[in-house]
């Protein structure tokens, strides 16, 4: 059984994952309208992944005797001036999600809820990968600079992007 504190924190994380899905969906839509087929594909995939993170939390809460709350998501407030700004915000957002996960892990330790602590280790690992991937992409963007050919190649590569930070399968 989940304590009230752990349940509240998990439900907050469910909301955060839903908000994250919306953030990436808004980024995908912008990129698509701008003609960035690869970036939009990447962002649509990220949006789907965040939704799966939310579902995983919902199922866990319900299986542990809690009741998962699915609340309204926030309308994303983004700087959509260019693709570089988009990816800077992606990194900032992932850092914010990592902080939230870390706070949640801390609550599980305070409450001596070792089952939930163990469950959350997947999210801790996932966030390490997400932040590293965002930094990797920003490094590539910085290498491109203002080169239109480089931007074209970058966008094309983003269609089938596989993070070099992802664990081998």
Known binding residues for Fe cation: 17, 50, 53, 94, 127
Residue with tokens 């930070």: 165
Would you list which residues are annotated within the binding site? 17, 50, 53, 94, 127
Helical spans, DSSP H, in the chain: 4-34, 37-63, 83-110, 114-144, 148-158
- CA distances 51 to 32, 70, 82, Å, are 20, 12, 25
CA distance 43 to 142: 19
Rg for the chain, CA atoms, rounded: 17
């Amino acid at each position: 059984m989940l304590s009230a504190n752990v349940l509240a924190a998990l439900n907050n994380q469910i909301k955060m994952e839903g908000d994250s899905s919306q953030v990436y969906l808004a980024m995908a839509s912008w990129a698509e309208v701008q003609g960035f087929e690869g970036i939009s594909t990447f962002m649509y995939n990220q949006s789907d992944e965040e939704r799966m993170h939310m579902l995983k939390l919902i199922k866990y809460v319900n299986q542990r005797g809690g009741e998962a709350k699915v609340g309204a998501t926030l309308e994303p407030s983004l700087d959509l001036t260019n693709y570089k700004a988009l990816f800077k915000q992606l990194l900032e957002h992932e850092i914010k999600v990592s902080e939230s996960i870390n706070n949640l892990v801390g609550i599980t330790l305070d409450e001596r809820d070792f089952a939930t602590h163990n469950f959350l280790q997947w999210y801790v690992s996932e966030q390490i990968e997400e932040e590293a991937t965002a930094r990797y992409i920003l490094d590539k963007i910085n290498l491109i600079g203002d080169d239109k050919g480089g931007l074209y190649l970058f966008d094309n590569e983003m269609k089938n992007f596989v993070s070099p930070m992802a664990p081998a399968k």
